[in-house]
């Protein structure tokens, strides 16, 4: 009897959650025409998923050299790059503000500030505590430089689109799909079947060999390791920058998943113990 009711309960729970999730997913869109989404087996998928450190580092390079011409990253600070789940974490520098990579990257950027002596507006080089600065002084300036379109901030982009990382990756590689003849494009718009409606204001960005990849240093099980630079193909750059943007959108993913597995195991054991207690307390009671 108890097992029967338990089964009913489980079944009810599964059906209810599945329907709820199904309804939530049903609301999403998809690519235009007959474009087939390429689904990548991302390293950060699954219960034990983790970001690919070397790809994230190359992805940062792609962001800095390509995307950052137009797109901001306003909710990310330079110090985040050296956080424990971040692309440039080093064991010797638990405080990311001391991390030499972070310091160098911050110094690459110019930050607008106020001189505390004179009150004048000055430009200084960035420090780890700074956030990625805005690319344009304001939205109107951003539109003026981009044919009226506003390049969105990329901090949470991977979470802000249905399809997540696969969406961003496919959007970047789908520019070479030929435009159907019946589609008319006004100047300043480009054909991209992954974009909702198929029309996008962003011109194609990635081309073979656009970025000079260099070997990257990563920390693997506490040991420093050099990873060879791959060929800078469009797919490789799209993959790398998607890894980086997946991290900027969800910087606590690794912590979340490792705590998650422990929590689920704990709750499983707790459920088993409580079920045993239940059987024992009720053992002489017919019900």
Partner 1 sequence: MSGHPSTYEPKYAASKWLDQRLPIVRMGADFMTFPSPRNLNYWYTFGGILALCLVVQIISGVILAMHYVADVDGAFASVQRIRRDVPFGWLLQSMHAVGASMFFLAVYMHMFRGLYYGSYKAPREVLWIIGCLIYLVMMATAFLGYTLPWGQMSFWGATVITGFFGAVPVVGEALQQWLLGGYAVDNATLTRFFALHYLLPFVIAALVGLHVWALHHVGQNNPIGITEKTKSDTLSFHPFYTVKDAFAIAVFLFIFAFFLFYLPDALGHADNYIEADAMKTPAHIVPEWYFLPFYAILRAVPSKLFGILLMLGAIVVLFVLPWLDTHKVRSMRFRPVARWFFLIFIVMCFILGWCGAGVPDDIAIPLGKDAGITFYRLGQAATLYYFAYFLVILPVLGLIEKPVKRPDSITKAVLGDQKRGAGLLPAE
User: Site residues (CB under 8 A) for partner 1?
Assistant: 5-6, 8-10, 12-13, 16-17, 19-21, 23-29, 47, 75-76, 80, 152, 155-156, 159-162, 164, 196, 249, 251-252, 255-257, 259-261, 263-264, 267-268, 270-271, 274-275, 277-278, 281-287
**Range 247-250 contact pairs with CB under 8 angstroms and sequence separation of 24 or more:** 247/51, 247/56, 247/85, 247/86, 247/87, 248/73, 248/75, 248/76, 248/80, 248/154, 248/155, 248/156, 248/157, 248/158, 249/155, 249/156, 249/157, 249/158, 249/159, 249/160, 250/158, 250/159
Instruction: Take residue 276 and report the two structure tokens written for it.
Output: 């045993």
Instruction: Take residue 22 and report the two structure tokens written for it.
Output: 């199904």
Nearer to partner 1, 11 or 122 (CB): 11
Nearer to partner 1, 121 or 284 (CB): 284
DSSP 18-39: HHHHHHHHHT----STTPPP--
Rounded to a whole number of angstroms, the minimum distance from the CB of residue 260 to partner 1 is 3
Nearer to partner 1, 196 or 214 (CB): 196
Closest CA to 151 of 174, 167, 135: 135
Rounded to a whole number of angstroms, the minimum distance from the CB of residue 279 to partner 1 is 9
Rounded to a whole number of angstroms, the minimum distance from the CB of residue 185 to partner 1 is 20
Rounded to a whole number of angstroms, the minimum distance from the CB of residue 1 to partner 1 is 9
Rounded to a whole number of angstroms, the minimum distance from the CB of residue 144 to partner 1 is 16
Q: Are 51 and 253 in contact (CB under 8 A)?
A: yes
Nearer to partner 1, 83 or 237 (CB): 83
Nearer to partner 1, 54 or 80 (CB): 80
Nearer to partner 1, 80 or 103 (CB): 80
Rounded to a whole number of angstroms, the minimum distance from the CB of residue 38 to partner 1 is 19
Closest CA to 83 of 102, 64, 68, 60: 102
Instruction: Take residue 177 and report the two structure tokens written for it.
Output: 């799909």
Rounded to a whole number of angstroms, the minimum distance from the CB of residue 81 to partner 1 is 13
Nearer to partner 1, 39 or 275 (CB): 275
Strands, E assignment, 34-179 = 110-114, 121-125
């Amino acid at each position: 009897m108890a097992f029967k009711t338990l089964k009913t309960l489980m079944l009810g729970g599964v059906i209810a959650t599945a329907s709820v999730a199904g309804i939530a997913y049903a609301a999403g869109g998809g690519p235009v025409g007959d474009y087939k989404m390429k689904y990548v087996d991302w390293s950060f998928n699954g219960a034990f998923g983790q970001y690919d450190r070397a790809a994230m580092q190359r992805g940062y390079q792609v962001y800095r050299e390509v995307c950052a011409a137009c797109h901001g990253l306003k909710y990310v600070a330079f110090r985040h790059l050296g956080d424990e789940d971040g692309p440039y974490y080093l064991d010797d520098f638990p405080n990311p503000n001391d991390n030499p990579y972070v310091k160098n990257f911050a110094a690459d950027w110019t930050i607008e500030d106020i001189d505390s002596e004179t009150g004048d507006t000055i430009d200084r080089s960035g420090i780890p505590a700074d956030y990625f600065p805005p690319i344009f002084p304001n939205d109107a300036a951003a539109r003026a430089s981009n044919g009226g379109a506003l390049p969105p901030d990329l901090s949470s982009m991977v979470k802000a689109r249905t399809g997540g990382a696969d969406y961003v990756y496919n959007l970047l590689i789908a520019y070479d799909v030929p435009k159907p003849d019946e589609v008319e494009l006004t100047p300043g718009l480009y054909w991209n079947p992954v974009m909702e409606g198929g029309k996008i204001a962003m011109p194609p960005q990635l081309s073979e060999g656009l970025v000079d990849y260099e070997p990257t240093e990563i920390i693997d099980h506490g040991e420093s390791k050099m990873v060879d630079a791959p060929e800078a193909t469009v797919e490789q750059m799209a993959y790398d920058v998607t890894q980086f943007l997946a991290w900027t959108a969800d910087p606590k993913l690794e912590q979340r998943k490792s705590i998650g597995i422990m929590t689920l195991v704990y709750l499983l054991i707790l459920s088993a113990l409580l079920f045993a207690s239940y059987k024992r307390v009720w053992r002489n009671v017919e019900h």
